[in-house]
Amino acid sequence: MPKVLVSDALSETAVNIFKERGVDVDYEPSLGKDKDKLLSVIGDYDGLAVRSATKATAPIIEAAKNLKVIGRAGIGVDNIDIKSATAAGIVVMNTPYGNAITTAEHAIAMMFALVRNIPQANQSTHAGKWEKSAFMGAEVFGKTLGVIGCGNIGSIVANRGVGLKMRVIAFDPFLTEERAVELGVEKVDIGDLLKRADIVTLHTPLTDQTRNILGRDNLAVLKKGAFVVNCARGGLVDEAALKDALDEGRIAGAALDVYETEPATKHPLFGHPKVVATPHLGASTREAQENVAIQIAEQMADYLIRGAVSNSLNSPSVTAEEAPRLKPFVSLADKLGLFAGQLTQTGVKEIEISYEGEVSELNTKPLTAAAVAGVLKPMLSEVNVVNAPVLAKERGISIVETYRDDADSYDSVIRLRIVTEQQDRTVSGTIFGALPRIVEIKGVEMEAAFAPHMLYTTNEDKPGFIGALGQTLGAAGVNIATFNLGRSAPGEGAIALVAVDDPVSDDVLEKVRALPHVTQAAALSF
């Protein structure tokens, strides 16, 4: 039974879902904050479910020898080293919509808290002061709301802004004009937004491009007296530059839910009279926490039990319905890739995968990933279906997928073509009785099952070869399980694919290569 560690404060509904779906679960909501403890236990788990407190860093991933999936019950995955997870073949998934409304509502709440001085007035009133004139606020009606990042959350904030009768302008390079019109917002560039917005609200992920998007220079361009709301990620705003702008009175106030370093217990902006601060509460409603906990537990259990992948940031999607149908084809694609990879000695330039017949109707992304992983496995030690497409791209290998409705004599065929600096090789296979079989090698028809240990030879089609090969193997104590032959035409190039009981040693291979008419011999394992 797969085992999952929940290392952050997820709704306990997640625990029940894991159990109901046949996943063993340890619920340790504070463990994520103790990185040494996490490091010492993570090796026992197949899945790790987190929010933002757990930092799934490279050392944690390195120690997570059995980990197959990291599930983020929420949106931001900047606490997960996706590059290391990908390299280790760990699927990373999140719940991109479950807390979006809640977070947008928090941004709107923060905006009102800011412009109406609600936290300060609350404190003063509780203290028995009646400082009615000290807390003069501003209306948002008719004001310009500048939304930076108009994705899931930004567009909900924009929609609420429109509802409040604000003029909403948005900067997002990926926002289309049509979508802007649909949302009732004006698409602008960042300079325009900074000059025009009375309230700027941030809703981008933290990336190399967005880090310090409100840095010193951009803060200097902001309209005098504007307000800043950040419920996205610390790091989007240069906190030192923000403090200077507040102190100098260039900015009227800032509402912050997120900080460059979290948890933030000491911060230069804490106690500042113009700052409203919350401790990363954007997603903290009962509704959002139920949503994300249920979703992540379902997604992770589906992956661990059924091989279904959804909302993954580093792996193609596979639905729970597709997973069993794809399974034999994933195995076939992997084995075809391994076959070709083991026979490839020089740099691979292109991998072409053709899907013919019924398989062409399926979701082929996971099959392509499996085929590419198979090709690269004999050359690279750390390759898997998650990182294979990335590794191929890094090495300049182009991946081509083609589709054909018809598979000639078969229901489905996967044809793999490898183009190297010196060769152009094909191998094709099908599924027969739920098992993968080879049906073609280098244009030669063949009918062979894959076996753990195989000997592959190419030879001139001359009498006496089969006997000589059998004798050589017999003399070396190699037991033949099956013997498959194919040739392009009588007397021309022939191929033998021999399943044997044990791995073929280098010694035996040398003897086979020395036989008359043999042009190539290789030991294969699957």
Ligand X SMILES: O=C(O)[C@H](O)COP(=O)(O)O
Ligand Y SMILES: NC(=O)c1ccc[n+]([C@@H]2O[C@H](COP(=O)([O-])OP(=O)(O)OC[C@H]3O[C@@H](n4cnc5c(N)ncnc54)[C@H](O)[C@@H]3O)[C@@H](O)[C@H]2O)c1
Instruction: Output 5 or 157, the one with its CB closest to ligand Y.
Output: 157
197 lies in the binding site for ligand Y (CB under 6 A): no
Q: Could you identify the residue written with the tokens 């619920």? A: 27
Tell me: does residue 74 bind ligand X (CB under 6 A).
yes
Among 319, 314, 330, 317, residue whose Cα is nearest residue 386: 314
**Contact between 99 and ligand Y (CB under 6 A)?**
yes
Rounded Cα distance, 27 and 9, in Å: 9
Report, in Å, the least distance between residue 69 CB and ligand Y: 20
Beta bridge partners of 92: 70
Which of ligand Y, ligand X, none has residue 100 at its interface (CB below 5 to 8 Å by kind)? Answer: ligand Y
x/- binding map, residues 264-293, to ligand Y, per CB under 6 A? ----------------x-xx----------
Among 17, 25, 49, 75, interactor with ligand X by CB under 6 A: 75
> Smallest distance, Å, CB 154 to ligand Y?
5
What does the alpha-carbon distance between residue 354 and residue 257 come to, in Å, rounded to a whole number? Answer: 50
Q: Of 324, 284, 250, give the one whose Cα is nearest residue 73.
A: 284
Joined tokens for residue 25: 């679960």
Element holding 263 (H helix, E strand)? none
Secondary structure of residue 386 in the 3-state scheme? coil
Q: State phi, psi for 117 to the nearest 5 degrees.
A: 55, 35
Q: Is 453 a catalytic residue?
A: no
Q: Which of 72, 203, 233, 415 is catalytic?
A: 233
Q: How far is the CB of 215 from ligand Y (least distance, A)?
A: 12
233 touches ligand Y (CB under 6 A): yes
d(Cα 145, Cα 149) in Å, to the nearest integer? 12
Does 437 help bind ligand Y (rule: CB under 6 A)?
Answer: no
Could you say which residues in the range 213-252 bind ligand X, by CB under 6 A?
Answer: none
Asked whether position 52 contacts ligand X by CB under 6 A, the answer is: yes
Alpha-carbon distance of 436 to 425, in angstroms, equals 19
Q: Is 179 a catalytic residue?
A: no
262 is catalytic: yes
Structure tokens at 471: 């004798």
Query: Contact between 218 and ligand Y (CB under 6 A)?
Result: no
The residues that bridge with 136 in the sheet, in sequence order, are: none
Given 29, 59, 119, 205, the residue binding ligand Y (CB under 6 A)? 205
**CA nearest to 183, candidates 149, 137, 211, 212:** 149
Q: Could you count the other beta carbons within 10 Å of the beta carbon of residue 323?
A: 19
- Within 8 A by CB and 6+ apart from 490, the residues are 461
* Minimum separation from the CB atom of position 106 to ligand Y (A): 7
Look at residue 200 and give the partner it binds from ligand Y, ligand X, none, a contact being a CB closer than 5 to 8 Å depending on partner kind.
Answer: none
316 binds, among ligand Y, ligand X, none (CB under 5 to 8 A by kind): none
Question: Which of these ranges, 168-176, 195-203, 278-286, 467-475, lies near ligand X under the rule CB under 6 A?
Answer: 278-286
Distance separating alpha carbons of residues 363 and 329, to the nearest angstrom: 11
User: Considering the rule CB under 6 A, would residue 103 count as an interface residue with ligand Y?
Assistant: yes
Per annotation, catalytic residue among 280, 298, 415, 440: 280
Amino acid letter, 309: V
One of 5, 15, 45, 51 touching ligand X (CB under 6 A): 51
187, 223, 243, 280: which one contacts ligand X (CB under 6 A)? Answer: 280
- Given ligand Y, ligand X, none, residue 51, with its beta carbon under 5 to 8 Å by kind, binds ligand X
Q: Does 76 bind ligand X (CB under 6 A)?
A: yes
Q: Which is nearer to ligand Y, 22 or 279 (CB)?
A: 279
Q: How far apart are CA 85 and CA 18, in angstroms?
A: 22
For position 89 contacting ligand Y by CB under 6 A, the verdict is no
Q: Which is nearer to ligand Y, 75 or 385 (CB)?
A: 75
- Residue pair 494/487 in contact (Cβ under 8 Å)? The answer is yes
- Is residue 356 a contact point for ligand Y (CB under 6 A)? no
Q: How far is CA 443 from CA 204, 291, 446, in A?
A: 52, 53, 9
End-to-end CA distance of the chain: 26
Q: Which two tokens stand for residue 242?
A: 């923000």
Q: Does residue number 143 form part of the binding site for ligand X (CB under 6 A)?
A: no
Tell me the residue type at 382. E
Are 269 and 239 in contact by the 8 Å Cβ rule? The answer is: yes
Query: Which of 100, 275 has the CB closer to ligand X?
Result: 100
Residues 6+ apart with CB under 8 A from 476: 505, 507, 508, 511
Annotate each residue in 82-101 with x if it binds ligand X (CB under 6 A) or - if it does not, as one string: -----------------x--
Residues that bind ligand Y (CB under 6 A): 74-76, 96, 99-100, 103, 148-154, 171-174, 203-206, 209-210, 231-233, 257-258, 280, 282-283
Which parts of this chain interact with ligand X (CB under 6 A)? Answer: 51-52, 74-76, 99, 280, 282-284
Active site residues: 233, 262, 280
